Amino acid sequence: MEPAGYGWRLLHGSPDMNPPLILASVSPRRRDILAQLGYVFAVVPSEVEEHEPEKTDDPRAMVTHNATLKSGWVAARHRGAAVLGADTTVFLDGEVFHKPADLAAARQMLRRLSGRTHTVFTAVVLRWGGRLTQTAAESRVTFATLDDALIERYFTRCNPLDKAGAYGIQDGGELIVDRYTGSLTNIIGLPAEETKQLLICAGLTPTL
């Protein structure tokens, strides 16, 4: 049996006249958030090379560019669908923290974030009917002071290799995060309220 929210509407559309909706991401966190908003959708990952500089003066522009690339690649192959693309990054001291290449890189990232406040940016881009709309969210996260033992303990709760900044606030975040401000779902990878408003403004209403 297919998981709820994935499959047949990609080919057939929906009886409520919404165009089929595609999430251009394999992220389980984004998938869960979009499903919790009440949408039925298919998952089609994009095959684009993201723009991931080590340093940038404008992380919001970087994630918007990447979300635009992702949604564009999928939309070109699924005409008639509404395609949602997103990109998230962690930003501190002019540097962007992408997904770490290995555990050594993940340890280094968490050491640098330790005891500091960083910013999480997510951009969301929606393409439908030849149109493009976008939104973005920004949250601030303050880490506790982390020693090596705590980092290793955290890695038993979370796989850091598939997450920007080498952490997921929803996976044992209480071990490493002291506090945050702004949208929690933005930190997780898809700002729920902003995404819902983007979809509703495009005429895409929840169906579950």
Catalytic status, residue 87? yes
Look at residue 84 in the predicted model and tell me its pLDDT: 98
Look at residue 2 in the predicted model and tell me its pLDDT: 37
- Range 8-201 has CATH code 2.30.42.10: no
Q: Are 170 and 29 in contact (CB under 8 A)?
A: yes
Catalytic residue among 16, 57, 58, 87: 87
Look at residue 8 in the predicted model and tell me its pLDDT: 37
Start-to-end C-alpha separation, the chain: 18
The pTM (predicted TM-score) of the whole model is 0.88
Look at residue 54 in the predicted model and tell me its pLDDT: 74
Look at residue 17 in the predicted model and tell me its pLDDT: 64
Look at residue 101 in the predicted model and tell me its pLDDT: 95
Look at residue 51 in the predicted model and tell me its pLDDT: 80
- Residue 174's φ and ψ, nearest 5 degrees, are -65, -20
Look at residue 50 in the predicted model and tell me its pLDDT: 82
Alpha-carbon distance of 122 to 190, in angstroms, equals 7
Count Cβ atoms below 10 Å from residue 37 Cβ, excluding itself.
18
Alpha-carbon distance of 107 to 113, in angstroms, equals 10
Non-local (6+) Cβ contacts of 36 within 8 A are 192
Token pair, residue 46, equals 């994009």
Look at residue 16 in the predicted model and tell me its pLDDT: 52
Alpha-carbon distance of 86 to 90, in angstroms, equals 14
Q: Which residue has the tokens 């990878």?
A: 189
The full set of domain ranges for the chain reads 8-201
Look at residue 192 in the predicted model and tell me its pLDDT: 98
Instruction: Please report how the helices 192-201 and 28-36 are oriented relative to each other, as an axis angle in degrees rounded to 10.
Output: 60
From 84, 177, 99, select the one nearest 135 (Cα to Cα).
84
Per-residue pLDDT of the chain (208 residues; tens, 9 = 90+): 233 344 434 444 444 567 899 999 999 999 999 999 999 999 999 999 888 777 788 999 999 999 999 999 999 999 999 999 999 999 999 999 999 999 999 999 999 999 999 999 999 999 999 999 999 999 999 999 999 999 999 999 999 999 999 999 999 999 999 999 999 999 999 999 999 999 999 999 998 7
